[in-house]
Structure formats: C-alpha cells, structure tokens
Amino acid sequence: QSVLTQPPSVSAAPGQKVTISCAGSSSNIANNYVSWYQQIPGTAPKLLIYDSNKRPSGIPDRFSGSKSGTSATLGITGLQTGDEADYYCGTWDSSLSAWVFGGGTKLTVL
Amino acid sequence: QVQLQESGPGLVKPSQTLSLTCAVSGDSITSGGYSWSWIRQPPGKGLEWIGHIYYSGDTYYNPSLKSRLSISIHSSKNQFSLNLSSVTAADTAVYYCARSHHGDFFNSWGQGTLVTVSS
C-alpha cells in the first residue's frame, strides 16, 4: 500500500488530454514539492515535472504539473502513442523521513 | 551531462548480502547540492526508495529497510554503494541508482540492474 495514491490506469484517445492524480497527506504533498516520472517499460524512469510544476529542459509543454493542498496532478495534452507509459508521483514525507512514490498509473493511448 | 551506471552480482543467495556499486561520470560526486540515491522496482511493481547519501556522509534510509541497509560514498573513485543484508526473495528487483537535487527530485538515473535472490 503506497503512501501516495494514484489511479492504476487511465486512457484517452490520441490528441486528447488526460490527468493523473496523486493523493497524499499533510506530511508529504501538502508541505513538500512533488515530482513526476515517466517510465516506458524496460527503461529507467525519466523526470517529467519537478518542484510540483516545473519542467526540465527538453520536456515538452504538453506536460504540466499542479498541486493543491494534499493532492497533485499531472496533465498531458495532445496525447501521442509515444506517451504510453507508467507515470509515478513522488515527494518527501516529513513524518516518515523518507522519500515516497505513488503506486504508478499506466497510461494507455487508445 | 552526468551518467550513472550500476554494477554488481545479478544473483544473490537468500540470507546473504546484496552489494551494488554506482559509478558516476560527467560530474563529481562531491558536487554540492546533490544526494546520491538507490531506488528499486520489483518485477511488475512500482518504485521503492531505498535511501540516499550526501557527500558529507549524511544518510537517509527507508525505515522498512534501515536495519539491513548501508549506503556509503567513495569520493576517490567517484562512486557510491549499497549493501543490503539478510536478503530474501522479496528483495528481488531492478535496482537503480540516481542523483537527487537537494533530495527534492531525481534528475538523473542509471539504467538499472536486475538482482535476483534465489538459491
């Protein structure tokens, strides 16, 4: 059971928009930055969003992040088949003194 | 651009110690502002943070692994390492090393190495 809760799967058609939620608590998301990672099967995770809403260089602006209270959201617009992957949120948990990840969300582009 | 590469045995017997090394290139492991992390992923499952170390030697460990875990840094070799003792089949996973910016996010990852615990 992950400390951060994500939906197991989401799906949408090419060109559409999808959001992936990440629910936490006052000891993690509410008081710390959230980051998001994309993992294509068989490869290492890749940083998509850091500091809750910033994109590293090279990440297209189709990807966005937001945070409100104890939840965070990853948004992807203009879906492409290449976006099919597992997506993970993560943050520091101040009570556990540990980094925590969500359970991951599998994105299917229909 | 920093690159990380994990190395170590791919097969470890139950009750033994799992030892992995992460070689860092393209940046000094003594660079300020970064921590050096281990993260694992059991087959078909999600990511689990193991722990991280700063150049100062300060370490932070996953509470669920703390009693079996040791992470150390080897600045002369630009490497850091992981030792996990008393392993069981539940420790079978792909192990990743990663660089974390101030412990806030993981911006560089190794390719990962599969470690299987089996007799």
Question: Rounded to an integer, what distance in angstroms lies between the CA atom of residue A40 and that of residue B66?
Answer: 30
A72-76, B28-32, B70-74: least confidently modelled range: B28-32
Optimal mutation site among B47, B61, B114, interface A, most CBs of chain A within 10 A = B47
Residues 6+ apart with CB under 8 A from B83: B17, B18, B19, B69, B70, B71, B72
Single-letter residue type at B4:
L
CB contact B48 to A (< 8 Å): yes
Helices (runs of H) and strands (runs of E) counted in chain A: 0, 9
Question: Rounded to an integer, what distance in angstroms lies between the CA atom of residue B43 and that of residue B76?
Answer: 34
Beta B105-109 vs A105-109: how paired, if at all?
Answer: unpaired
* Smallest Cα distance from A17 to chain B, Å: 24
Contacts of B49 in chain A (CB under 8 A): 90, 98-101
Here the tokens at position B87 are 């392993």
* Interval A40-86: pLDDT, tens: 999 999 999 999 999 999 999 999 999 999 999 999 999 999 999 99
* Smallest Cα distance from B104 to chain A, Å: 7
**What pLDDT score was predicted for residue A74?**
98
Contacts of B104 in chain A (CB under 8 A): 32-33, 35, 50-51, 92
